[in-house]
Amino acid sequence: MIPSGHQLLKLLILGLGAGYLYTAWHIPMDPWTAEELVNARTLPLIYGGLLVTAVLMSWKRTAPSEAIEAGPMLRVAGVVILTLGFLLALQFLNLWLGLAGLLTALALWLGERRLVPITALVITVPMVGWVGIELLLNLHLPD
């Protein structure tokens, strides 16, 4: 049987909780700290344990979430991929130039075809950011 989206999410949270518990148990500590009643591991172990218990308790609960169609899912995937592309490009491009590229790509991907709004968005946002942040507030962002 294929698990539903909600079951899959709960499975993911359960895995996250188990992984967190395992990592919490292996937090490196010096001998003095390890002997303390409450140390760096204590609260993480409590949080992880409670999370696993809560997810198991909610296992049979079904959430009234809407089904997602393939089209909108593809749109979200596109937005995430374009943003990832922008982050990769930031290693070579200036932030404001990269941002202009990202704004253009996102607007086109989401269906905006009018030249004037796209141009206004692409010029205004990076320009206001550059003038306001770098020139007026004198905050220099790394290239």
Partner 1 sequence: MWEGIVTGFATALTLSNLGWVLFGCASGTIIGMLPGLGPITAIALMIPVSYSLEPAGGLIMMAGVYYGAVFGGSTSSILLNAPGVASTVATSFDGYPMARAGLGGRALAIAAYASFSGGTLGAIALMMFAGFLASLALQFQSPEYSLLLILALSSVVVFAEAQARLPSLITLLLGLMLGTIGTDQLAGIPRFTFGRVDLADGLNFVLVVMATFALAEALRMTLQKDQPPPTAVTASQLKLSWQEGAPLLPVIGRSSVLGFLIGVLPGAGATLASFFAYDIEKRIGNGSREAGVAAPEAANNAASTGSFVPLLTLGIPGSGTTAVLLGVMLSYGLQPGPRLLVDQPEIFWGIIASMYVGNVILLALNLPLIPQLAKLLRLPSRLLIPLIVAFSLIGVYLTTLNLFDLYLMLGLAVGALALRWHNYPLAPLLLGFILSGLLEENVRRTLFLAESGWLELARPVTLVLMALLLIVWLSPLRGRSTENPKP
Write out the residues near partner 1 by the rule CB under 8 A: 5-6, 9, 12-13, 16, 20, 23-24, 27-29, 33, 37-40, 42-44, 47-48, 50-51, 54-55, 57-58, 61, 63-66, 68, 72-73, 75-76, 79-80, 83-84, 86-87, 90-91, 95, 99, 102-103, 106-107, 110-112, 117, 121, 125, 129, 132-133, 137, 139, 141-142
Report in angstroms how near the CB of residue 2 gets to partner 1 at its nearest.
Answer: 16
The per-residue DSSP string of 80-132 comes to HHHHHHHHHHTTTS-HHHHHHHHHHHHHHHTT---HHHHHHHHHHHHHHHIII
State the minimum distance, in angstroms, from the CB of residue 77 to partner 1.
Answer: 9
Residue 135 beta carbon to partner 1: minimum distance, rounded to whole angstroms: 13
Cβ closer to partner 1: 1 or 76? 76
- Report the run of H or E that residue 53 belongs to, with start and end: helix 42-57
**CA dihedral sign of residues 109, 112, 116, 122:** negative
Tell me if 21 sits within 8 A of 48, measured CB to CB. yes
Instruction: Write the CB contacts of 140 (distance below 8 Å, at least 6 apart in sequence).
Output: 134
Which CB, 1 or 6, lies closer to partner 1? 6
Query: Which residue number, 1 or 139, has a Cβ lying nearer to partner 1?
Result: 139
Q: Considering the complex, what minimum distance in angstroms separates the CB of residue 118 from partner 1?
A: 8
| Helix then strand then coil, % of the chain, to nearest 5 | 70, 0, 30
